[in-house]
Amino acid sequence: MRPSSGVERRTLSTKCPLDVGRTGSLRAAALQDITDLTGYEMYVTAYPCPMCLGALYYATPDRVVYAATREQEGEHYDDGNRYMSLRTFYDEYAKPIGEQNLPLVQGNVTDPTAPFRRWSALND
Ligand SMILES: [Zn+2]
């Protein structure tokens, strides 16, 4: 199956689905040892996709300025795949667990919080 033009545009250089617009910019900043964007403003071409938005929340810039809305961007291409499209991506995130198109199930683990308690113990 041929990927949509949006997917090709976003991942053409590396083929990695993580290499979308804003994450690439954040990676470039990190390579310059800039990982906390406090004091910085980000200027982006369109309202960030959920993956980029999450990365921006972690990077904590002072402000993000976007040019095109999601709807305006969506008029020109779509990231469509079998679980989401540019139009439905945000809706997918908001769905309750178990209702999302991507099958997400909690595995059968005896003590699922053990790694987090261990991490806390090592980092307190
Ligand atoms: Zn993105």
CATH of the domain at 34: 3.40.140.10
51 CA to centre of ligand 1 in angstroms: 5
Q: What is the mean pLDDT of each run of 10 residues along the chain (124 residues)?
A: 37 64 79 89 89 90 94 80 84 92 94 96 92
Q: Which domain holds residue 26?
A: 5-123
Distance in Å, CA 105 to ligand 1 centroid: 25
Residue among 87, 111, 90, 112 nearest 100 (CA): 90
What was the pLDDT predicted at 84?
Answer: 86
| pLDDT at residue number 4 | 36
What's the angle, vertex CA 14, arms to CA 8 and CA 17, rounded to 5?
Answer: 65
d(CA 45, ligand 1 centre) in Å: 10
Domain count, the chain: 1
CA distances to 1, 99, 103, 110 from 107, rounded to whole Å, are 31, 17, 12, 9
